A and B are shown apart, each in its own frame.
Chain A
Amino acid sequence: MKPIYMDNNATTACDPAVVEAMLPFFTEQFGNASSMHSFGNKVGLALKEARAQVQDLLGAEHDSEIVFTSCGTESNSTAIFSALKAQPERNQIITTVVEHPAILAVCEQLEKEGVVIHRLKVDKRGRLDLDEYKALLSPRVALVTAMWANNESGTIFPIEQMAEMAFDAGVMFHTDAVQAVGKVPIDLKNSKIGMLSLSGHKLHAPKGIGVLYLRRGLRFRPFLRGGHQERGRRAGTENSASIVGLGVASAQAKEYMAFENTEVKRLRDKLEAGILAEVPRTFATGDTSNRLPNTANIAFEFVEGEGILLLLNKQGIAASSGSACTSGSLEPSHVMRAMGIPYTAAHGTIRFSLSRYNTEAEVDRVIEAVPPIIAQLRKISPYWGEKGPSEQPEADFAPQYA
Chain B
Amino acid sequence: MALSQDEVRKVALLARLELTEEEIASQAKHLNDLLGQFEKLQALDVTGIEPTSHSIPIVNVLRDDVERPSLSREETLANAPEARDGCFVVPRIVAD
| A and B co-occur in one complex | no
Residues of A that sit less than 8 Å from B by CB:
none
Residues of B that sit less than 8 Å from A by CB:
none
